Chains A and B, each alone.
Chain A
Amino acid sequence: MPDNDNEALRTISVVRHYRLGRSTICAVDGVSLAAKRGEFIALLGASGSGKSTLLNLLAGLDRADSGVIVVEGQNLATLSSLELAHYRRHTVGMVFQSFNLVPNMTLYENVELPMRLAEVRRRERKARAREALEKVGLSERMKHRPSEMSGGEQQRAALARALVNEPKVLLADEPTGNLDSKTGTEIMDLIRGLNRSLPMTVIMVTHERPLAERYADRMIFLGDGRVLEETKSKMGAAK
């Protein structure tokens, strides 16, 4: 169990397997790792290595079959479904490869959505959504729908939405996967900036090693659901 005050999250021997017909696939197979507050960790691995499954477990979208996941002092296995929803609302923020903005809502409404779920007052919601969109440089496009925007802009909006409830941990699943390299860099600069300024712990899944080396403090390599290697990136080493 984590006893370090500076620890943002820790997993101990986390296992998650799926049934596929008659066979069982072990997507995460005894992963143990820890992250300090404000740390930027990149989870790397080939497709099917279990990195996205691990991220979903950390996000509280999925439950582990065994093992312990503690994020900001909360043992996810012991939380009820309602408490887990509360955890997703307040402790973690998520960005996805495919942005996952609600297409029939404007940017403002998308950013406002997590605050509706968190029962934030209407007036406060307005101010906070505006502020979050300003942070990602989209305050002028609040009334636009996602379909009217570029991929980079959509991901920035998704980032604003992830941050609006002021989570302690940002979980990013291939945030640059659908973006060209220039836009990807912009997004990563933004995430890195937030990680430094707030400070906010970031766990990012990616398969682009150069990106991880450039932005993350630490890189954790996964393969077949296990931790293969853990190295400090150049950025981390320079710290």
Chain B
Amino acid sequence: MKLYDMVELAGRNLREAGLRNSLTTLGIGVGVASLVAMLSLGIGLQLLFRRELGRSSLFDSVYVTSRQDFRQRRVGDNRPTRPLDDGARKSFEKLAGVLEVYPNFAAVGEFRFDDSKTTDAQSHFTVLTGLPPSSRNSEAFDDIQGHFFSGPDAAEAVLMVDFARELLGLPEETDSDKKLGSEQANQLLGKTLVLRYAEREAPSLTGNEPANAPANDNTAADNLAFNVVRKEQALKIVGIVVQEPVRGIPRTGRSSVFLPIAFAESLNMIQPGDLRNVVRPAEGKTYQALIVRVAKSKDVAAVEEEVKKQGFGAFSLLDASRNVRIVFVFLDLFLGIFGSLALVVASLGIVNTLVMAILERRREIGIMKALGASDRDVKQIFFVEACTMGVLGGALGVGLGWLIGRVINFGTNLYLQRQLEAKPQEFWYVPLWLVVGAMIFSLLVSWFAGIYPASRAAKLDPVQALRHE
């Protein structure tokens, strides 16, 4: 029999017992909906997790150190080592997939906020950190008061909110995530913050060189000896953030002031580890650590490997990320299994419905066989009926699953906003492959459920079926 005839006959048969078949199809729909809902939750959480981590740049950074550091040098490790200097930095920038290379810049400075109201500005010691331009994507800047740095070498500063409070002489807030009031913020934004720091000054042989030489002009000789001088730099406060913008790995403790990295570097501040460089010759400026950021996290492993080959110590959170991925695979698997259970139960409904149909249509099957239907024809009609219920149930289930997802997502966000004042998030995500996959899975389960009834119908003896009642 031709397929369209089979589909037509199956459709007619399904309509004949409309209520029963609709309920069975609804059962399949609920089963598929539970599968879709479970999996889309798993996928949604995974995406949310990845998105958040991706923004934090934790998983697309390689932390590079020099293996010349005694901490990294092991007995019997004879691999060649190189100083982590400008030459190395340039070579990292040339690696495929690398987005940017920047030093893990953190230094201690003394800050004075002069708002012209207080004549004797108070001094505040804290850690300042250099931020690369890419950190603009960090979620911390989503609700910044003010704005991000106007350029990579602007003499501008972004403050953490608690430091901003300290500068204004406000009491400490128990809720560290609380923003400043707009009036308070305006007292700081656009104003000048004076940074006092220890500069690593090139040795002055003549005594006439400019005191604040650019960092890149340092020579190998500079590293052998330098002067430490006190410097002052005026910074314009451009932004206040609540959350610390994570720059990669490792986090250097809590920083309170952020500067554009290029500008921070140009200040030539004394950093921990500088003394070590005095005794170690290098090409240009040396770094305690460099952070190599790659465009795609999948390139991390290759870049890390290449950096190690060049004779440096390299570390990334890729392994941790891999473990997280494995956890999500298991989570999805379990959610999928629980979701599928409902579908399996629903498939028993198909078996039940079709076995009932065989009993009811016994005579009809006999007639069809007498008129020339083969066993295969009868079997296929039942399969088409089972699969039709599967496809309709699958479509219904995908829609229902999506709807459940939307409703729960909405409810959760409502709760989060009311209780925790958190930003709305997408916990639920229904990708196209899940839609198609769930339909195919539903079809397969229905087909499988149809095997027994279809074979039973096909084996029906027409003579028995047609025997006079």
Contacts and interface: CB of A to CB of B under 8 A. Distances in A.
B374 interface: yes
Nearest to A91: B372
B376 A82 contact: yes
A56 B369 CA distance: 12
Given A61-B462, A62-B463, A119-B1, A100 B367 contact: yes
B384 to A, nearest CB: 13
A116 B1 contact: yes
B16 interface: yes
Given A113-B368, A117-B1, A119-B1, A81 B374 contact: yes
B5 interface: yes
B466 A117 contact: no
A11 to B, nearest CB: 17
Interface range on chain B (Cβ under 8 Å from partner):
20 to 34
Interface string B353-396: 00000000001101111111111110000000000000000000
A59 B370 contact: yes
B79 interface: no
A102 B2 contact: no
Contacts of B5: 116, 119
Nearest to A105: B12
Interface residues of A, number: 29
A45 interface: no
B331 interface: no
B375 A81 contact: yes
A61 B469 contact: no
A191 B368 CA distance: 22
A86 B369 CA distance: 10
Nearest to A56: B463
B90 interface: no
B348 interface: no
Given A90-B372, A104-B12, A117-B371, A98 B2 contact: no
A85 to B, nearest CB: 4
Nearest to A90: B372
A85 B363 contact: no
B370 A98 contact: no
Interface in A146-173: 161, 165
A114 B5 CA distance: 12
Given A102-B364, A104-B16, A61 B376 contact: no
Contacts of B342: none
Given A61-B462, A61-B463, A116-B9, A88 B375 contact: no
Given A62-B463, A117-B1, A100 B372 contact: no
Interface in A81-113: 81-82, 85-90, 94, 96-98, 100-102, 104-105, 113
Contact of A86 (B9, B363, B372, B469): B372
A88 B469 contact: no
A228 interface: no
Interface string A119-138: 10000000000000000000
Given A82-B376, A98-B469, 7 more contacts: A97-B468, A98-B468, A100-B466, A104-B16, A105-B12, A116-B5, A117-B1
Interface of B: 1-2, 5, 9, 12, 16, 363-364, 366-377, 462-463, 466, 468-469
Interface of A: 56, 59, 61-62, 81-82, 85-90, 94, 96-98, 100-102, 104-105, 113-114, 116-119, 161, 165
Question: What 3 A-B pairs are tightest by C-beta distance, nearest first?
Answer: A89-B372, A85-B374, A88-B372
